[in-house]
Structure 1
Amino acid sequence: MTMLIGSCAKSLPAPVVVDTACSWVRIIYLTDHDIDVLDKQTKRDILAHNKAVQANCP
């Protein structure tokens, strides 16, 4: 009697990991009008966002 274990012994290729963490994040650019009408907190938030993008998504 022959045991059929060959189908379980296949070596699979290593998984490919694709880093998409930065694919949906972009620098926020402001126009002169934006700068005039946005409040200070929003400008600070945009600055923090832009710094984080530059630091984490080269």
Structure 2
Amino acid sequence: MLTVSCAVRGGVPVVTDTACDWVKPIYLTAHDIDVMDKQTKRDVLSHNYSWDINCNILVKTKIKP
């Protein structure tokens, strides 16, 4: 005997992206820049660039004039 049932699923689940809530740009002082090696400066620049591309637009759209 074959038994078939249908389940009714609720609405479509809502996915909320919270990655930009905990990622922030890295701010440096003049002293930080003086003492960092070249690779660390590149890493900070890369991090800040990625944040700007992926998250900054979200920050700008949340701010209402």
TM-score for both structures, normalised by structure 1: 0.73
User: Residue 17 of structure 2: which of 13, 16, 19 is its match?
Assistant: 19
**Structure 1 runs of 4+ off > 2 angstroms?**
8-11
Once the two structures are aligned, what percentage of the paired residues are identical? 62
Which structure features the higher share of helix residues? 2
Q: What are the ranges of 5 or more consecutive residues in structure 2 without an aligned counterpart? A: 58-65
Please, what is the CA RMSD of the aligned residues?
1.7
- 1:53 — aligned with what? 51
Cα-to-partner distance string for 1:4-51 (whole Å, 9 max, x where unaligned): x8xx75551321211112112110000011011111110011001100
| Count of aligned pairs | 52
Structure 1's unaligned 5+ residue stretches are none
